[in-house]
Amino acid sequence: MEKTMEQQKETAQLITPSQLLEHWLGHRRVTRRVIEAFPEKELFTHSIGGMRPFSEMVNELLGIAVPGLQEIVSGKTTELQEHFDHGNSKAKVLEAWDKSTEEITKLWNKITLERFQENIVLFGQYEGSVQSSIFYFIDNEIHHRGQAYVYLRSLGIEPPFFWERN
Amino acid sequence: MEKTMEQQKETAQLITPSQLLEHWLGHRRVTRRVIEAFPEKELFTHSIGGMRPFSEMVNELLGIAVPGLQEIVSGKTTELQEHFDHGNSKAKVLEAWDKSTEEITKLWNKITLERFQENIVLFGQYEGSVQSSIFYFIDNEIHHRGQAYVYLRSLGIEPPFFWERN
């Protein structure tokens, strides 16, 4: 049955696309503060138990978010690419982060509500729906950022508040 | 405008209540495996940078999920309570985890789609909507579990796969 835009707007939504975008952007603001909290050197070198330095985890996040959304919007499969040249500069990582945030916002508005339930195979290998893929992007950011909190604490640095999203 | 149940079912949803429950239960299965992966002693003692042992973080998660949902379902304000007596037994923590998972599933079915956008003040202090509160519960679990991954790696233990949710 066809519905007008007006009718769709009236229907209850668990979470709307604009709410989910704001939720994600709130998390990205926290992650940005976590990047900032690292000393210049330790962002690229500090590690516990053989894990990657946080800069490498951030590269993974950068490699997933915009390329993933681009693929969702365009329908064109791209290859997962997680290596950016940040030249061990925190300023460059933050710049890439901000550029990625801008791109996410632009791409988001091209995803209609109907598309979130569509099945896709992301980066040619990850099967799921548009919504499950996007939740994976967000959850993966929270997961690695949680690890960065331990890195910061082990360096004697107090991380930003987890619940402060502005 | 009133709509029949049938019409509502037909309307596109970014994520449905049952999909979000399954998403959360998937995360809870991963968290359960993380609890299991800790050696009996280190679950209650291992710490990095002055942070809490993972058992204390799990107590926080137990103190939020079911009590939070109970409050959402009943509308009755409860006090945040994060101290359970697990007697330093991993088996008891896992038992409490499983009981909590069962309760979540039961309570979930009492939350209608319309309620997710309702504004609430959880535990008498956290303002938000039902959906933002529930996403906080899930995100907070991912956040602390990410920290547990570092604890496990620092103990030379390989954590369960983040992406394996079955």
Task: Name which of A13, A51, A117 is nearest B153 (Cβ-Cβ).
Answer: A51
Q: What is the mean pLDDT of chain A?
A: 93
Contacts of B145 in chain A (CB under 8 A): 143, 146
d(CA B49, CA A155): 7
At residue B85 the predicted structure's pLDDT band, cuts being 50, 70 and 90, is confident
In the stretch 127-166 of chain B, residues with CB closer than 8 A to chain A read 131-132, 135-136, 139-140, 142-147, 149-156, 162-163
Position A30 scores a pLDDT of: 98
The verdict on whether residue A83 carries a ligand-binding annotation is no
The SS3 assignment for B126 reads strand
B26 vs A: CB within 8 A: no
Judge contact between A21 and A101, C-beta under 8 A.
Answer: no
Position B10 scores a pLDDT of: 55
Position A10 scores a pLDDT of: 55
Q: Is A44 left (phi over 0), alpha (psi -120 to 50) or beta?
A: alpha
Higher pLDDT, B161 or B8: B161
B27 vs A: CB within 8 A: yes
Examine the pLDDT at A137 and tell me if it is beyond 90. yes
Instruction: Please give the residue of chain B at the shortest CA–CA distance from A130.
Output: B14
Q: Is the dihedral of CA B34, B47, B104, B115 positive or negative?
A: negative
The SS3 assignment for A126 reads strand
Q: How many CB atoms lie within 10 A of CB A80?
A: 14
Position A85 scores a pLDDT of: 81
Q: What is the CA radius of gyration of chain B?
A: 17
Contacts of B60 in chain A (CB under 8 A): none
Examine the pLDDT at A124 and tell me if it is beyond 60. yes
At residue B1 the predicted structure's pLDDT band, cuts being 50, 70 and 90, is very low
Report pLDDT digits (tens) over B128-142.
Answer: 999 999 999 999 999
Q: List the domain boundaries for chain B.
A: 16-154
Examine the pLDDT at B83 and tell me if it is beyond 80. no
Whether B15 sits inside 8 A of A15 (CB atoms) is: yes
CATH of domain A16-154: 1.20.120.450
Q: How many residues does chain A have?
A: 166
CA angle A111, A122, A54 (to 5 degrees): 95
A84 vs B: CB within 8 A: no
At residue A106 the predicted structure's pLDDT band, cuts being 50, 70 and 90, is very high
Beta strands in B81-145 (DSSP E): 119-122, 126-129
